[in-house]
Amino acid sequence: MREYWNVEISKDVYFKIFERNFNYEIVETAIGTAVKMPCFDAFIYSCVTGAGYLENPIYPFTPKGLLKLFYNAFDYKFVTGIFDNTTLKNTPFILSQAKKYLFSDDKYIVPIEFVYEGELTEYLKSNYSSLAKPENYILQRIEARKTGKGMEPFLEYLAAEYFKNNGYIVENQIPLGHSVGSPDFGAYGLEKIISSLSSYGFLPGHGFHIIELAMVRLYHRLRPKKTVSRSDLIVGEAKSSTTSMSKQLAKYLDTGLFDAGFEIHPSKAKPGADYFGLVTLDSSYKIKVIPPKAKYLHEPTFSKSEYTTWLMNYMKFYLLANLTNDELNQFYYDMNGRSLSSQTDIVDFITSLDSETLLNKVKVL
């Protein structure tokens, strides 16, 4: 068995991965070959990878990092993102009002491989004027000068899509804790959440990216029924410049919060240890997943049941992000008989609110 076949995700490899693993069309555009995606899929892609919409050629826009909620697990301290203090700020709905193009028309993901930033800037400037609707093009940077070409976020996307299609709720750059770090990837087998959403007609019987919970207002997306039953929690670490990730992954597993840890690498043939899994590409560029062969033995430092409770509340905050600020304030007033005035008010409200009441609120938006 090969241990390492040394493939980097170049522009050519990028298209081979899409051709082998996804049903998106590969098309020719005025600025190069592109992956054609529906606008909602493209929004998730941009959120995960940081690929930017070409609303201007100098500073492409990406929602990556804007839809964050909390600094750490077990805590409810807002990071400026979806919320700014008590105000909803960067929700998909609010972004859609400021940038109408986000959720209209198909999008074209164009990978551009370059050595120097100036080279990329000149290429975009010289081709930008040929685009009738440049905001419908999304630039995927491939940094040829870097080992691994800076493609770790793309690997996070591949892992997310795989586990999402196998019934998990997925997320990248997950909040955990300062002493532990921020894992690149998480997959949550929270069957209760998936079943609840399915009963309300949202994302039935299928996994999804956590950001999709904040997009229900925009996109009541119904997927084909696929019966799944997941209860495990997975953590992952992605690398494209080195095959060494065991130390950090073990640190995440030492918390006791996850049932399995996966290394994510484009060309590694086997995990660094029997108690790790691996997400990789085979020689035909098909996503290949090798599960752990052994259980990771450790003395947990945190409570998995408390973490699961926190995750369930975490999901509710993303559902809440479907509301406007006026709707949020009215919802709070209707339920509490007083006005919303602090972060503590929001946190206490949502953590004590049953999911059914919140789902009923979101359903009528």
Is 142 part of a structural domain of the chain? yes
Mean pLDDT of 266-294: 95
Is 360 part of a structural domain of the chain? no
Evaluate the CA torsion angle 133, 51, 32, 105 in order and state its sign. Answer: negative
Provide the domain count of the chain: 1
Is 227 part of a structural domain of the chain? no
Is 92 part of a structural domain of the chain? yes
CA 277 – CA 7 distance, rounded (Å):
19
Residue 164 has pLDDT above 60, yes or no: yes
User: Helix, strand, coil % (nearest 5) of the chain?
Assistant: 35, 20, 45
Q: What percent of the chain has pLDDT over 90?
A: 74
Q: What is the pLDDT of residue 248?
A: 93
Is 173 part of a structural domain of the chain? no
Q: What is the pLDDT of residue 157?
A: 98
Q: What is the pLDDT of residue 220?
A: 66
| pTM of the predicted protein model | 0.95
Tokens for 188?
């949550």
Candidates 349, 93, 330, 74; CA nearest to 211 is 93
Is 157 part of a structural domain of the chain? no
Do the Cβ atoms of 108 and 344 come closer than 8 Å? Answer: no
Is 53 part of a structural domain of the chain? yes
- Quick: pLDDT tens for 2-49: 444 578 899 999 999 999 999 999 999 999 999 999 999 999 999 999
Q: What is the pLDDT of residue 1?
A: 41
Task: Write down the residue that tokens 């033995």 correspond to.
Answer: 297
**How far is residue 246 CA from its own chain's centroid?**
22
- Quick: pLDDT tens for 167-224: 899 999 999 988 888 999 999 998 777 777 777 777 655 789 999 999 999 986 555 5
Element (H, E) at 170: strand 169-172
Tokens for 234?
């997975």
Is 127 part of a structural domain of the chain? yes
Range of the domain at 75: 11-149
Tokens for 268?
């590694």
- Quick: pLDDT tens for 214-256: 999 998 655 555 556 678 999 999 998 888 899 999 999 999 9
CA distances (Å), origin 3, targets 7, 238, 270, 272, 279:
12, 17, 6, 10, 14
